[in-house]
Amino acid sequence: MVRIIRFGRHAVALLAIAWAAGAGAQMHIHGKSGGEVAKAELGTSAAFASDGTLYAVSKDGQHVLLHHSRDDGASWEPPVAVNAVPEAISADGENRPKLAFAPDGGVLVSWTHPLTKPYTGEIRLARADDGKHFAAPITVHSDRQEITHRFETLAVTGKGQVLVAWIDKRDLETAQAAKRAYRGGAIYAAISDDGGRTFRAEFKLADHSCECCRIGVANDVDGRPLVMWRHVFEPNERDHALVKLGPDGMPGKVQRATFDHWRIDACPHHGPSLAVSLTGVRHAVWFNEKGGEGRVFYGRLVDGQVEGQRPVGGERAAHADIAASGGRVAIVWKEFDGLRTNLRAEVSDDDGVSFRAVALASTEGTSDQPRVIRRGDDLFAFWRTDKEGMKGYWLK
């Protein structure tokens, strides 16, 4: 069974049964009534601490919970509430709580706090010096308009600074008030120099981002962060852009990262993922329509071009993630086969020259987007499903 969503001259075919299994792309058509497609809020992030403990953050009602496992996800200790005071929390696949560790070992958790108006929110962050007792959360940005500040990403740079980047619509609001045209939203960011306790004033990386896709961040070989997002190029091509932050934390020139020329007046809720190997190769995965076919792609971003671009998985592959460790690169994604949603992976031992396929797990119910994370030189696939819970799989 296929659901067709049409806008203008274009149509996107989405498998309705795959949506029901949590496997398909979620489409938000801007300018239409209604809203986003309802789905189970299983959005969870995971990371390994320096001592090898696996941590994860998820949502339970109006609280963000911090979980930890000392046996790589085989069992989990009772969770800790991150926010003592209840508040609305977003935890769908593209807008889930995030997790990182400050250089001094402090645990950092960020999330989007939805506000009253549709598609509005604030970016929140809480820190626990000891990994258990969190200080009251702060709002990362000084702009407090009831507008879009959503889809944040959280990272620690090679210099030990904490970076939070998000989609922001303050410039759209200003343009609309002045009756000027403005495409999409914007990418804003803020930097902390004290391990996430306080943040500098936010700054803009670029105008004209897509409205509802996750943002990818990876540290370059010099430790400076690269930020990748779905961008709205003129006249309305939803490809991807890349920017590198300078030594002062300010953004450099925005570069076009993908060249699929997908013309669509909608947001596919399907953001990119980026990884940099030890040799400096920039590996990326993303979802786009190319040649009339919507697929997940892998490619290497080199000097404003894409090398080795190819599809990942089959026609129903969705929400791929990528990570690199030394010369090893791993891609994970989920794919619906008509009955079950399967967790798949590809692993390269030669810096992306060749990959081997790995089948990891499957579920009959709904599932979150998979993640691939690092522990030292090892790579680990993390996946939360409604029936099986939070599980992990070493990528050998």
pLDDT band at 39 (very low <50, low <70, confident <90, very high): low
Whole-angstrom distance, CA of residue 314 vs CA of residue 362: 15
Residue 197, Ramachandran bin (φ over 0: left; ψ between -120 and 50: alpha; else beta): alpha
Question: Mean pLDDT over residues 57-80, rounded?
Answer: 98
Q: How far is the CA of 369 from the CAs of 175, 254, 321, 366, 390, in angstroms?
A: 34, 28, 9, 10, 12
* φ and ψ at residue 17, rounded to 5 degrees: -70, -30
Given a cut of 60, whether residue 137 has pLDDT beyond it is yes
DSSP 170: H
pLDDT on residue 267 = 82
Q: Which of 23-32, 87-96, 285-294, 342-351 has the lowest mean pLDDT?
A: 23-32
With a cut of 70, say whether residue 33 has pLDDT above it.
no
Nearest CA-CA partner of 59 in 25, 86, 24: 86
Question: Can you give the pLDDT at residue 3?
Answer: 30
Residue-number span of the structural domain to which 97 is assigned: 2-394
pLDDT on residue 235? 87
Residue 142's pLDDT band (cuts 50, 70, 90): very high
For residue range 145-155, list pLDDT tens digits in order: 999 999 999 99
pLDDT at 71: 98
- The stretch 54-76 carries a mean pLDDT of 98
In whole angstroms, give the CA distance from residue 58 to residue 48: 15
pLDDT for the residue 25: 37
Evaluate if residue 38 carries a pLDDT over 90.
no
CATH number where 71 lies: 2.120.10.10
CB atoms within 10 A of CB 377: 10
Give residues with Cβ within 8 angstroms of 389, minimum separation 6.
none
CB under 8 A, 24+ apart: contacts of 140-145: 140/110, 140/164, 140/166, 140/190, 140/199, 140/202, 141/166, 141/168, 141/188, 141/190, 141/202, 142/201, 142/202, 143/168, 143/170, 143/202, 145/170, 145/173
Total tally of structural domains belonging to the chain: 1
Q: Which helix (H) or strand (E) holds 372?
A: strand 371-375
Question: What radius of gyration, in Å, describes the C-alpha atoms of the chain?
Answer: 19
Question: Does 35 have pLDDT greater than 70?
Answer: no
Residue 19 has pLDDT above 70, yes or no: no
Structure tokens at 20: 């029901």
Arithmetic mean of pLDDT, 26-45: 56
Query: Residue 266 — very low, low, confident or very high, per pLDDT cuts 50/70/90?
Result: confident
- Predicted TM-score (pTM) of the model is 0.91
Per-residue pLDDT, averaged over 96-100, amounts to 98
Return the percentage of the chain with pLDDT > 70, whole number: 90
Instruction: Report d(CA 220, CA 226) in Å as an integer.
Output: 6
What residues form DSSP beta bridges with 286? 297
pLDDT higher than threshold 70 for residue 299: yes
pLDDT at 30 over 70: no
Does the N-terminal peptide bond of residue 235 adopt cis geometry, omega within 30 degrees of 0? yes
**Predicted confidence (pLDDT) per residue in 378-390, tens digit:** 999 999 999 999 9
